[in-house]
Amino acid sequence: MKTGYEKIYERPDTLLSTRMHYCPGCMHAIVHKLIAELIDEMKLQEKTVGVCPVGCSVFAYDYIDIDWQEAAHGRAAALATAIKRMLPDRLVFSYQGDGDLAAIGTAETIHACNRGEQFTFIFINNAIYGMTGGQMAPTTLEGMKTTTSPYGRLAKTAGMPLKMCELVSQFDGVAFAQRVSCNNPANVRRTKKAIQRAFEIQQQGLGTTFVEVVSNCPSNWKCTPEVSLQKVKEEMLPYFPLGVYKEPRS
């Protein structure tokens, strides 16, 4: 460090030094970093159990230095339900993509929310199946081309993309639901605040907490990270509006 200067940001301790396998510019990595920062700042390492999904973030346990359980595809909410019920004083979160949370795991998601399970969903919505190579997701936008919708998603046969934040905010069991993005510095800061809020509400035992991050996938969207951020702003956010969808009753 140069003299006359102080360090105001460095890599969080809880983020392990293992090189993350995510493609350049992937928001998964940004969200991992934010979770690690919050675990450090809120001193949660000894209290936290994460549940990782099947999808691009399947190796999350290699990156964040906390105890984890790896779920079968779609079943993170079932695992998180049981973990929190067995260890009620721990902070429990599931980290899931759109295929995991909103396709194969929809039933587990909805019923955990409806029961008001006291854990936090961190939902990465990038409108595509990343790990398996760019297939259509339940949140793929109308007209968007993927390897299984090569001529663009047709609403007539595939339906419209699922709006999970709007859906889960209907349940009494859900205490907090917010949709955020990481497409610019201000939104990254909001995402961190939203996850912090969700963790705090979980610790207060007020109900299920749900943070949806409208995300990108430069590789499978077949564009540069820069263009992917433009697409988030111009294509994703008009259909998936940011904002707080559910607040705890005061």
Task: Choose, by CB under 8 A, the member of 35, 38, 56, 80 that binds other proteins.
Answer: 80
Q: Minimal distance in Å, beta carbon 127 to other proteins? A: 18
Q: Which stretch binds other proteins (CB under 8 A): 83-91, 121-129, 131-139, 242-250?
A: 83-91
- Please count the residues of this chain forming the interface with other proteins, following the rule CB under 8 A: 66
For 79-100, what is the HEC assignment?
A: HHHHHHHHCCCCEEEEEEEHHH
Residue closer to other proteins (CB basis): 10 or 234: 10
Residue closer to other proteins (CB basis): 153 or 194: 194
- For tokens 């955020």, what's the residue? 180
Q: Which stretch binds other proteins (CB under 8 A): 68-76, 120-128, 155-163, 237-245?
A: 68-76
CA–CA separation, 193 and 191 (whole Å): 5
* Cβ neighbour number for residue 242 with a 10 Å cutoff: 19
The DSSP code for 146 is B
**Is residue 107 within the footprint of other proteins (CB under 8 A)?**
yes
Structure-block tokens of residue 13: 């301790």
**Is residue 12 within the footprint of other proteins (CB under 8 A)?**
yes
Q: Are 217 and 26 in contact (CB under 8 A)?
A: yes
Q: Which stretch binds other proteins (CB under 8 A): 22-30, 123-131, 152-160, 198-206?
A: 22-30
- For tokens 């936090």, what's the residue? 120
**Is residue 234 within the footprint of other proteins (CB under 8 A)?**
no
**Is residue 189 within the footprint of other proteins (CB under 8 A)?**
yes
**Is residue 70 within the footprint of other proteins (CB under 8 A)?**
yes
**Is residue 134 within the footprint of other proteins (CB under 8 A)?**
no
Q: Which stretch binds other proteins (CB under 8 A): 12-20, 148-156, 202-210, 238-246?
A: 12-20
CA–CA separation, 194 and 187 (whole Å): 10
CA nearest to 97, candidates 67, 135, 149 = 135
**Is residue 154 within the footprint of other proteins (CB under 8 A)?**
no
**Is residue 179 within the footprint of other proteins (CB under 8 A)?**
no
How long, in residues, is the chain? 250
End-to-end Cα distance, the chain: 46
Distances (CA, A) of 13 to 34, 48, 199: 12, 15, 19
Residue type present at position 124:
I
Q: Minimal distance in Å, beta carbon 134 to other proteins? A: 19
Pairing status of strand 120-125 against strand 243-246: unpaired
Q: Are 132 and 208 in contact (CB under 8 A)?
A: no
Interface with other proteins (CB under 8 A) = 1-2, 4-12, 15, 19-20, 22-30, 33, 36, 45-49, 51, 58, 61, 65-72, 75, 78-83, 85-87, 90, 107-108, 111, 115, 182, 184-185, 188-189, 218, 224-226, 229
